[in-house]
Structure 1
Amino acid sequence: MTVWLLGDQLHPGVTPLQSTDHVLLVEAYQFAERRRYHPQKLTLVFSAMRHFRDDLCDRGYDVTYLRAETFGDALDRYFEANPADDLVAMRSPSHGADEWRQRLVRERGGTLTLVENDLFLTSPAAFDAWAGVDGSDEGDSGEPDADDETTFRQEDWYRHVRRETGILMAGAEPVGGAWNYDEENRETPPPEWSPPEVPRFEPDEKTREVQAFVADRYGDHWGDPNGFRWPVTREAALQALDHFVSVRLPEFGAYQDAMRGGEWALCHSLLSAAMNLGLLRPREVVDPAVEAYESGDAPLNSVEGFVRQVIGWREFMRHVYRRSMPELASANQLGQTASLPPLYWDGETEMRCLSEAVEHVHDRGYAHHIERLMVLSNFALIYGVDPAELNEWFHLGFVDAYHWVTTPNVVGMGSFGTDVLSSKPYAASANYIDKMSDYCADCPYAKSKTTGENACPFNALYWDFLKRNEETLRGTGRMGLMYAHVDRKDDAEWRAIRERADDLRSAAAEGEL
Structure 2
Amino acid sequence: MTVWVLGDQLNPETTPLQHEDHVLMIEAHNFGERLPYHPQKLVLVFSAMRHFRDELRERGYEVTYIQAETFAAGLDRFYDAVPGADLVVMDPPSHGAGERFRHLVESRGGSLTLVENDLFLTTPAEFDAWAGDTESYRQEHWYRHVRRETGILMDGDDPAGGEWNYDDQNRETPPGDWTPPSAPRFLPDDVTEEVVEFVQERYPDAWGSADEFVWPVTRDEARRALDHFVENRLADFGPYQDAMVGGEWALCHSLLSAAINLGLLTPHEVVTAVETAYRDGKAPLNSVEGFVRQVVGWREFMRHVYRRSMPELAEANQLDQTASLPAAYWTGETEMRCLSEAVGHVYDHGYAHHIERLMVLSNFALVYGVDPQALNRWFHLGFVDAYHWVTTPNVVGMGSFATDVLSSKPYASSGNYVNRMSDYCASCPYAVSKTTGENACPFNALYWDFLKRHEAVLRGTGRMGLMYSHVDRKDDDEWEKIEARAAELRQMGRDGTL
TM range, normalised to the smaller chain?
A: over 0.9
Paired with 2:322 and 2:99, the residues of 1 have a C-alpha distance of: 31
1:392 to 2:347 alignment: no
Amino acid in the other structure paired with 1:473: L
Equivalent position SS for 2:231: helix
Runs of 4+ off more than 2 Å = none
Q: What's the counterpart of residue 247 of structure 2?
A: 262
Q: What's the counterpart of residue 142 of structure 1?
A: none
Q: What's the counterpart of residue 472 of structure 1?
A: 457
Paired with 2:344 and 2:491, the residues of 1 have a C-alpha distance of: 23
Paired with 2:268 and 2:86, the residues of 1 have a C-alpha distance of: 31
Q: What's the counterpart of residue 276 of structure 2?
A: 291
Q: Output aligned runs, 1:383-422, within 5 Å.
A: 383-422=368-407
Q: Deviations over 1:99-138 (max 9, x none)?
A: 11011101100000100000000000000000013xxxxx
Paired with 2:337 and 2:36, the residues of 1 have a C-alpha distance of: 26
Query: Structure 1 length normalisation: TM-score?
Result: 0.97
CA positional deviation for 1:342: 0.7
Equivalent position SS for 2:228: helix
Paired with 1:362 and 1:266, the residues of 2 have a C-alpha distance of: 17
Q: Output aligned runs, 1:25-424, within 5 Å.
A: 25-133=25-133, 150-424=135-409
CA positional deviation for 1:305: 0.1
Q: What's the counterpart of residue 7 of structure 2?
A: 7
Q: What's the counterpart of residue 496 of structure 2?
A: 511
Paired with 1:215 and 1:377, the residues of 2 have a C-alpha distance of: 29
Paired with 2:15 and 2:374, the residues of 1 have a C-alpha distance of: 37
Q: Greater CA deviation, 247-256 or 215-224? A: 215-224
1:447 to 2:425 alignment: no
Amino acid in the other structure paired with 2:414: S
Q: What's the counterpart of residue 463 of structure 1?
A: 448
Paired with 1:220 and 1:485, the residues of 2 have a C-alpha distance of: 46
Q: What's the counterpart of residue 145 of structure 1?
A: none
Paired with 2:306 and 2:438, the residues of 1 have a C-alpha distance of: 42
Paired with 1:220 and 1:232, the residues of 2 have a C-alpha distance of: 23
Equivalent position SS for 1:188: coil
CA positional deviation for 1:475: 1.7
Equivalent position SS for 1:487: helix
Query: Which residue of 496, 500, 506 corresponds with 2:481?
Result: 496
1:16 to 2:16 alignment: yes
Paired with 2:155 and 2:405, the residues of 1 have a C-alpha distance of: 32
Paired with 1:317 and 1:171, the residues of 2 have a C-alpha distance of: 27
Q: Deviations over 1:355-410 (max 9, x none)?
A: 00000000000000000000000000000000000000000000000000000000
Identity %: 73
CA positional deviation for 1:220: 2.1
Alignment gaps of 5+ in structure 2: none
Amino acid in the other structure paired with 1:452: G
Amino acid in the other structure paired with 2:369: G
CA positional deviation for 1:5: 1.0
Paired with 2:431 and 2:73, the residues of 1 have a C-alpha distance of: 56
Amino acid in the other structure paired with 1:198: A
Equivalent position SS for 2:89: strand
CA positional deviation for 1:219: 2.2
Paired with 1:156 and 1:70, the residues of 2 have a C-alpha distance of: 41
Equivalent position SS for 2:473: coil
Query: Structure 2 length normalisation: TM-score?
Result: 1.00
Equivalent position SS for 1:23: strand
Paired with 2:490 and 2:349, the residues of 1 have a C-alpha distance of: 28
Amino acid in the other structure paired with 1:349: T
Q: Deviations over 1:131-151 (max 9, x none)?
A: 013xxxxxxxxxxxxxxx700
Paired with 1:280 and 1:447, the residues of 2 have a C-alpha distance of: 41
Paired with 2:276 and 2:269, the residues of 1 have a C-alpha distance of: 11
Amino acid in the other structure paired with 1:417: A
Amino acid in the other structure paired with 1:182: D
CA positional deviation for 1:225: 1.1
Paired with 1:95 and 1:5, the residues of 2 have a C-alpha distance of: 18
CA positional deviation for 1:434: 0.2
CA positional deviation for 1:268: 0.1
Amino acid in the other structure paired with 1:218: Y
Alignment gaps of 5+ in structure 1: 134-148
Q: Deviations over 1:227-252 (max 9, x none)?
A: 10000000000000000001100000
Pairs aligned (count): 498
